[in-house]
Structures are given as C-alpha cells and as structure tokens.
Structure 1
Amino acid sequence: MRLAVLADIHGNSFALAAVLEHAARQGADLFVNLGDIHYGPLDPAGTADLLAGRPMVTIAGNQDRLLLTPPPEPGPTLAYVLAALPAWELTRLAALPWAMTLEAGVLLCHGTPCDDTRYLLDDVTSGRPVLRPAGDVEADLMGWNYPLVLCAHSHIPRVLDTGRRLVVNPGSVGLPAYADDQPPHAMSCGSPHARYAVLERTGAGWRAELFEVVYDWQAAAALAEANGRADWARCLATGVAEPPARDAAPAARPAGPGARQGAS
C-alpha cells in the first residue's frame, strides 16, 4: 500500500494543485488529508473545488473547527474564508472526524490523538521547533497501538521511529512558515516549497518519503498581500518566520482553538 499524505493546506490552491499533480505520479493507492484545509487569506473556494475532484480520507484540524464555530465578530481573514467557502464545503467539514484509523494499522490525527492544538513531534519552548524525545512522543500515544501514526499541525516535516512505531508529519502543503505567541515561537521550513509525504508498506514495515514541490509561491504571496496579510506573504515567499518577542503583548485574535499569529 502507498499513501499520499497531505496536511495544512490553508487555502493555498496554488500549492495544492502542484502537490496533487506530483502525488498522482507516485502511484499512491490512497490519499490522506490531515486537516487545516481552508483557513488563510488565499483561495478557499478553489481549494474546495480541487479537493472535490480528488477523493481522500480526511480528518479535521483545529482551524477547520474554527470555521465551524467562529467568534461573534470574526477578524477579516476568517470572515474572508467564511464568505468564500460554499455551503456544501462547510457541511462536509462539519462531518469530518477529529481522528481516525485505517484498516492498515494507521492512526490519523492533526495534533496529538487527544488534542488537535498540541504538537506531537515538536517542542517549541525555546522559540524554535526541536524534535521531541521518542519517549515523550510515546507518552502522548499511550493506548494507541498502531504501527504508523500520521500527524500534522506543526507544518514541520518529520519522520521519527520511536522503537515501537513510525510517526510521520508530512509538513504543510500550503504554509511553510508561521509565528505564534502561545507560547512565542516560529515554525520555519526555510524554503517556500509545498510539502507532503508518501508512505509505503513493505514486508519490513512502513517506509516514508518526504517531498518538496515547486509551485508558484510568488502568486500565492501576492494574493495574501492583496488580501491584507503581509505576514502571510513573507512566510509564503520565503518559508521563514521569526518568533514574536517573549515580552510582547499577544496580538488581537478571535477566540478559537489553536489560534496562531495571523488568525484574524
């Protein structure tokens, strides 16, 4: 079995189209989407149309839930996404599970299996992502006895063999960097490529391959800029973000799970 694993598209139809085309050439048997599908100042409606044409196993992320339970006065970016998405896509999002398993012994989650706002593979207490020790990852997976765990949320591609299982974060299709002030930290892939993974089950177990895909990130950055989000434009064009100052007051943002810098 070969799985094409996508995550954290964030409405970037430019990146999604390139990833879908690239993944189709890899001979995948099944496409998997780990959530955070539409939120962002880009092209949520175009993203919905692309996904409608490519059936895949999908779970919800924390910012998908934000679309379903928005605050009374959503910020401009959230309002933009809600106005752009067709009703049928919001209905589909509402039916998505927060985690699920595949018959092949695969667990899908956005953050951890019990909390879609926590990073499973990354420690950000220093302000930058650091791979967590295998024992700490296993503690978050206690009771989930699956040989392969697919997670997302951090946007950082990772493959970790804990000794008991393989844990894979495919990285982000649509947003290669961002900053968050809860706690202050920045996630940076270092380049603007779209990212995803292909997992293959062999006689010896699961094997993971991480891909970086070229697409027109300047067009994506220009759209973010036009929609009033210079912060997103910089992250899209460079793949680099700087953490907020630790003594800075948090930026105003809508109430909601896992809101990160730019979630307004």
Structure 2
Amino acid sequence: MNKIRKTTTIAAISDIHSNVFALEAVLADIKQRGADQIVNLGDILYGPIAPQATYELLMEHQEDIITIRGNQDRQIYEATTVEIVSNSTLSFIVTELSKDAIEWMRFLPFDYHLSKDVYLCHGSPTDDMTYLLEDIKTGQPVVRDDASISALLDGVDSAVIVCGHTHIPRTVVLSSGQTVINCGSVGYPAYEDDLPIIHKMQTYSPYANYSLITCIDTQQGKRWQTEHIKVAYDHKKAATLASKNGREDWAFALNTGRVL
C-alpha cells in the first residue's frame, strides 16, 4: 500500500489587474478550500477598476500571501510623465494609488523559489514579458512544443513551475517530468495585445480563475495534481467601473471573457 504521509496545497493566483471584486471572491473560495499557502504571480494593480482597494485588500492578507511582480507592475512604477499623460488608464492608476502601494510593487521580487520543488515566475524565468507555454505567432495561443518550453525554463529544474501572464489556465507536463502550470487570471479574463504581434487571449467566460496545486507525499515519493478553479462573482460591478473609467474594451472582456 502506497501510504500518504502528507498533503500540501498551494493556491496560485495571478493577474488580478485591479479587480478587487474578483479577488474578494477568490480569497473567500481559497479559505473555504483550506489551502496551506497562497502565491500571487504579479500584474496586480494595473487596470481601470479599483487599484487602491485591491492593494488594501491584499495588505489585509499580506502575511498569508507570497507575491512576485509582473510586467505591468513595472509599467506603473517605471512610468515616465510622458507615458502617464498619454495613457488615460495609467494616469487613473497612478492618481488613485498611494505612494505606499507604488513602493510596495517596486520592491517585489522578480521570481521566487517556494521550495526545492516549486518555482514561481510571472512570464518566464528570464523575462516577465515572455509567454512560457504559448506561441502566439498565428494571433491565437498555441501550446509550444516540449523542447521550446524546456529551453525557456533556462535551467530551472524544479518539479513544478507556476506562471501567469497569458491569463489562460493551463497545465503542461514535460518530457523531463516537470509540470508547468499557468493559473490564469483572477481579474481580467480576456485581452488583445499588439506585442510582439497582434494576438488575442480569451477564456470565454467572466469567471475569476486560479489554481490549486497539491503535493501528495507518499512512501514512494511526491505526486502533484492541479485543479483549475473558476469562481463566479459579481463581474458586472467590475465592468461598470471599467466603463466609467473609459475602458469599454475591458468592460466587454469582464462581462464575456471575450475580446471586442
């Protein structure tokens, strides 16, 4: 009999994008499921919804959450005056956020080794702008081949690699035996970007997404399993604020999980 000695569950969240309503629902769901550790993989406060309220909610739980930064966290604290003036959403964010919130993001780590077995990054281990699992050269996300993903890991040999950035929940097991998990987006279920080419990321529902990653430690070794969770919440509240702040594209995505 393969006796279980211990189980440990990690709740992985990412890409909150200022959506305090989605974050509230996800944190409540995590509490109900009794996860042992919460990790937050970045892109936290950038968005036309409620940046300061999102920051304040996270601060209430800061002792329970390990947080790293994402590319759009950098975009906030690295923004020049010209960039702020030319980007109404960025202007709204910078105006709303307290100095403490901006400084908090500035000192977040790029990545984090939760343990020997679990490594956290936002995009890839070397670049917070790189999609680790998806190739988007067709304009739609297609999972990279095994060798390409392994190359992007750049020597990270952890059994489990957890990332965000693409907003698409996904679990991929490599030929090395490593498991790469994208936990999706808590607060922004679809978007269109023009870098490096125009492409769309869509989940086709308004739900908030996160992942539960469980380590089952047995006499024969450790096993890992992943559950991608979709949480219903009052997404219309988030969409209404996005619309009020001049982002009908965000409002549409929040209501539908699709891109206009």
TM (normalized to structure 2)? 0.91
Matched, 1:71 2:85: no
Q: Does 1:2 align with 2:13?
A: no
Q: 1:62 and 2:71 equivalent?
A: yes
- Counterparts of residues 1-264 of structure 1 (less than 5 Å): 1-55=8-62, 56-73=65-82, 74=84, 75-164=87-176, 165-182=178-195, 183-203=197-217, 204-241=222-259
Q: Give deviations 1:203-234, integer Å, cap 9, x for gaps.
A: 34221110000001111111100111011111
**RMSD over aligned Cα, in angstroms?**
1.0
Q: CA deviation at 1:238?
A: 0.5
Distance of 1:94 and 1:87 partners within structure 2: 11
Deviations 1:115-166 (A, max 9, x none): 0001001111111111111221111113111111001100000000113201
Q: Take 1:212 and 1:27, find their aligned partners in 2: how far apart are those partners?
A: 16
Query: Bigger CA drift: 50-59 or 9-18?
Result: 50-59
Give a deviation string over 1:173-205, Cα, whole Å, max 9, x none: 000000011211000001010000011111342
Runs of 4+ in structure 1 deviating by more than 3 angstroms, as ranges, are none
Q: C-alpha distance in 2, partners of 1:163/1:28?
A: 29
Which residue matches 1:246?
Answer: none
* Equivalent pairs, count: 242
Q: For 1:35 and 1:28, how far apart are their aligned partners in 2?
A: 19
* The 10-residue stretch of structure 1 (203-212 or 21-30) with the greater mean CA deviation from structure 2: 203-212
Q: 1 CA distance for matches of 2:228 and 2:44?
A: 19
Q: Aligned-pair distance for 1:104?
A: 4.5
For residue 161 of structure 2, give the secondary structure of its aligned residue in structure 1. Answer: strand
Structure 1 vs Structure 2: percent identity of aligned residues?
A: 41
Residue 95 of structure 1 and its aligned partner are, at CA, apart by 1.0
Which entry has the higher C-alpha Rg, 1 or 2?
Answer: 2
Amino acid at match of 1:63: Q
* TM-score after normalising by structure 1: 0.89
**Residue type of the alignment partner of 2:199:** H
The code of the aligned residue for 1:130 comes to V
